[in-house]
Amino acid sequence: MVKDKEKEIVNLGQRNFVITKKIASHGSQTVIIVPKCLSSQLKPGMLAEIKINLIGDENGNN
């Protein structure tokens, strides 16, 4: 699924995923929404390493 500045590269046969997402907000918190197709791989209590590379701001500037 590819949307405006959102890219999801998902291969469920692996344990490494690259997901490029817009940052969302939920109340006063900033959140990253994980795609539903990864729900079978991610369970509550699991430990995951998250790397964040900022590639642009809210105006699309790099």
Please give the pLDDT value at position 62: 67
Quick one: CA dihedral 53, 55, 56, 62, positive or negative?
positive
Q: Give the global pTM.
A: 0.53
Compute the distance between CA of residue 13 and CA of residue 41 in angstroms, rounded to an integer: 10
Compute the distance between CA of residue 18 and CA of residue 51 in angstroms, rounded to an integer: 10
Please give the pLDDT value at position 4: 47
CA count, 13 A, side-chain hemisphere, 11: 6
How does DSSP classify residue 7?
Answer: E
Q: Which of 9, 39, 38, 8 is nearest to 21 (CA)?
A: 8
Please give the pLDDT value at position 2: 43
Please give the pLDDT value at position 20: 86
> pLDDT by residue for the chain (62 residues), tens digit each?
444 455 555 555 667 888 888 889 999 999 988 888 888 888 889 998 888 888 887 776 76
Task: Pull the structure tokens for residue 37.
Answer: 């197709």
